[in-house]
Amino acid sequence: MARTGVIALLVGASLALLVVLQLLANTGLHETSSRFDFHPLRETRAGTDDDNVFLLGVGKADTTG
Amino acid sequence: MELGLNGYAALSQVGTGLRQRIFSRAFIIADPNDTNNTIVYLIVDAQSGDTAVRHGVLQGLAALGGEYARYGEHNVALSGTHAHSAPGGWMNYLLPQIPNKGFDKQSYQALVDGVLLSIQRAHESLAPGRLTHGTTEIVDGNANRSPYSYLANPEEERSQYQYNTDKTMTMLKFDRTSDSKTTGILTFFSVHGTSLYENNTLTAGDNKGVAAWLYERSVANDTRYADDFVAGFSQSSVGDTTPNVLGAYCEDTGLPCRFEDSTCGGKTEQCRGRGPYFQENDYGAKSCFEMGRRQYSAAKDLYEQLDSNGTQIVGSSSVASYHVYHDFTNYTFPSPFNSSTLKTCYAALGFNFAAGTTDGPGQFDFTQNGTGPAESNPLWYVARAFIHQPDAEQQACQAPKDILLDAGAVSLPYAWAPNIVDIQGFRVGQLMFIISPSEVTTMSGRRWKSAILNASTEVLGIEDPLVVLGSPSNSYAHYLTTEEEYGVQRYEGASTLYGPNELAGYVNLTLTYLPYLGSSSDVSKLSPIPAGPNPPINTNNSLSFITGVVYDGAASGQSFGDVLSTSPNTTYKPGDTISATFVGANPRNNLHQESTFAAVEFLDTSSGSWKTVRTDADWNLIYMWNRTNTVLGYSNATIAWQIEDDYYEIGNPNPVQSGSYRLHYYGDSKSVGGSITSFEGVTGAFTVSI
């Protein structure tokens, strides 16, 4: 019974830890999204839930030969 | 300079200077949740896209590696504005190389390097944004140069349209979500890049180059636009359009040309189209500016309406593309228009190709519509047989085209014309891109767009699809007429390489591959598209009869950059031209890409420093170069500033102001030993009084 209780405690703690970690990760993603809005990251392109928002780029260069 | 300009196929049109720098403008659109779903649409100030140039760009992207691995055959479209005033010598196939005396590696590399840099800059600017779509009409923005051919289309079809050209400009507005600034506009409008005439020898982007430059200049102090804003003016259903909107007249009599075949007294040479300012003796420059101004003004007005009247492009998870190489030789397929089975042919040009157009007439006894004596002149048939005699099957396939150049059958010293072309399509949300290697006539474009629009709803389930068409793109495959226009065999029909069923072939193929623009999950269920046969790439085996720079010399007592002469006055006003001639050197020693050969500098009296206010990218500052002694290597460089008056200052937030100015020349000389040395030349100050 005691061992069962310990196991349950460990499982519960692990689950709680996972929830906390997930919450922290989501917070991190949110921050990344915020940074992504203002400072596009070169290495990662965090997604967006807005289906009307694309990634857009424009560039111009001289081709005079 | 010293290189043939591309477009009119005129041996005499050899570059002598720079009216306006030319550019590549890159537009990248990606799915933010999967950046491998991305498209790159390029607009290059050039006669067209090209197989070799595109290949060079793709090789360059592959070499960049890293994030650039997402860009490749399937999603890079290289379209040309169809300017007929940009340097040539870079095309892949022999036929268009001939007027430029072959292939020039420097010209090719300048184009490839510039395109690559534009893509890099676009890639590095990637940021979340929204796309807004809108249209407007430019009624005086083009005219039809082959209305006789257009009339061959069925009356019930023609009656659906008010005009015999597309008067619609379509705009895509690129807005960054972080600060709501507009980073770019991408427009599509159909008008030939032939405002500058065949006798113009100054490099420029023609009317679309003017439009882009005017728009980019106009936003300098407008906080609604981002820094490094890019304005793209893409070519569209260009085939039978002309910017010479006043019509075609005989230069000897002043009378209208004959309607059926654009002749004057039975010949083509005297029949030329007139631009809005045809009376100016300026090689078409002011007409060019005017036709660019019309596109610019329409785009500016349309921009102002888009926030309230525009259509949002939706579906950022629907960014898709496909590409396949296809050989049109004896391609048999079901018609997309009816229940018949059709066939295309390998490439051939008809007699009336040699007649040219009212934008650039041909020579000898060729006429449009075959009314002249050329087709009964046995000498041309001897010439044809010398190149390649088309067999009965080819003649039947191409009928009623009377074949002059059976180009698709000739591979010595290398291919003369493409039989293998790019079949490519893009999708961005509900917007479909048709990417055509051939110059599409008005009605061909309408039929193609209609087919894609209908299928986009039926096959892809898109409600209210939109469509744009960019040509000439990727491989340059001359023209595309309807079957009816083909039957008339004016210039455009004679230049429709693959026979009367070419349009049906393109439509059939783009409908066949349309499912590949569906959702990722739908596409994953389809068989992979085979890449198709690879076209030949002739970059390393092309002939060249273009001489390089040997050396530059300066006369005794002179140094490179010395001022030889200047305009005589000390004070000038808007509308005047001031020029200066310097001891020069060949500009091919250093192309000054991303820089300039010439500048106008203004004296800032508060700091005492000279500030650059004009470069050779500006329309009104002209750089010219000419040899004065070939043996001794002497040359002159002349800079001319046509001081802008109200007409040329349209939209300029920083117009000319009164004050002291000077002209500045930047050159590079080549020694006998081959070393290149930079030098500069500066005039004395002069006054501009407003």
Q: What percent of chain B clears pLDDT 70, i.e. is strictly above it?
A: 98
Q: What is the pTM of this model?
A: 0.92
Of B234, B316, B296, residue with least CA distance to B26: B234
Q: Of A37, A58, A64, which is closest to B593 when you measure between CB atoms?
A: A64
The three-class DSSP label of residue B298 is helix
Answer yes or no: is the ipTM higher than 0.90.
yes
Show Cβ contacts of residue B538 under 8 Å, excluding neighbours closer than 6 positions. Answer: B52, B92, B93, B94, B103, B414, B415
Tell whether A57 is within 8 A of chain B (Cβ). yes
Residue of B361 and B584 predicted with greater confidence = B584
- Using one digit for the tens of pLDDT, what is the confidence trace for B30-39? 999 999 999 9
Rg (CA), chain B: 25
Mean pLDDT of chain B: 95
pLDDT above 80 for A18: no
- Using one digit for the tens of pLDDT, what is the confidence trace for B86-104? 999 999 999 999 899 999 9
pLDDT at residue B370, as a whole number: 66
Backbone angles phi, psi at B514, to 5 degrees: -55, -40
Alpha helix (H) residue ranges in B151-265? 155-158, 206-218
User: Given the DSSP bridges, would you call strands B182-188 and B571-572 parallel, antiparallel or unpaired?
Assistant: unpaired
* Chain B residues 100-159 with CB within 8 Å of chain A: 104, 106-111, 113-131
Tell whether B32 is within 8 A of chain A (Cβ). yes
Residue A49, number of CB atoms within 10 A of its CB: 8
A53/chain B closest Cα distance in angstroms: 5
Residue of A44 and B663 predicted with greater confidence = B663
- Using one digit for the tens of pLDDT, what is the confidence trace for A40-57? 334 334 455 688 999 999
* Chain B residues 607-636 with CB within 8 Å of chain A: none
Tokens matching residue B322: 């496909």
- Using one digit for the tens of pLDDT, what is the confidence trace for B178-220? 999 999 999 999 999 999 999 999 999 999 999 999 999 999 9
Alpha-carbon dihedral B522, B527, B529, B532, rounded to 10 degrees? -170
Q: Which residue has the tokens 């309607």?
A: B259
Band of residue A3 on the pLDDT scale cut at 50, 70, 90: very low
pLDDT at residue A47, as a whole number: 54
Residue of B600 and B374 predicted with greater confidence = B600
Asked whether A53 and B130 are in contact (CB, 8 A), the reply is yes
- Using one digit for the tens of pLDDT, what is the confidence trace for B556-575? 999 999 999 999 999 999 99
Asked whether B424 and B483 are in contact (CB, 8 A), the reply is no
Q: Give the length of chain B.
A: 690
Band of residue B607 on the pLDDT scale cut at 50, 70, 90: very high
Band of residue B57 on the pLDDT scale cut at 50, 70, 90: very high
Cis peptide leading into residue B418 (ω within 30°): no
Q: What is the Cα–Cα distance from B264 to B479, expressed in whole angstroms?
A: 25
The three-class DSSP label of residue B147 is helix
Q: Of B120, B315, B593, which is closest to A59 when you measure between CB atoms?
A: B120
Average pLDDT over residues B520-543: 93
Q: Give the length of chain A.
A: 65
B139/chain A closest Cα distance in angstroms: 29
pLDDT above 60 for A5: no
Q: What is the Cα–Cα distance from B366 to B269, expressed in whole angstroms?
A: 9
Structure letter (DSSP) for residue B542: -
Tell whether B227 is within 8 A of chain A (Cβ). no
Residue B126 and residue A60: Cβ atoms within 8 Å? no
**Mutation choice for A interface testing from B126, B208, B595 by most A CBs within 10 A:** B126
pLDDT at residue A27, as a whole number: 38
Band of residue A2 on the pLDDT scale cut at 50, 70, 90: very low
- Using one digit for the tens of pLDDT, what is the confidence trace for B427-469? 999 999 999 999 999 999 999 999 999 999 999 999 999 999 9
Residue B619, number of CB atoms within 10 A of its CB: 23
pLDDT at residue B352, as a whole number: 87
Of B245, B264, B268, B267, residue with least CA distance to B256: B264
Tell whether A10 is within 8 A of chain B (Cβ). no
Inter-chain Cβ pairs, chain A and chain B, closer than 8 A: 171
Tokens matching residue B100: 């430029």
Q: What is the Cα–Cα distance from B165 to B149, expressed in whole angstroms?
A: 12
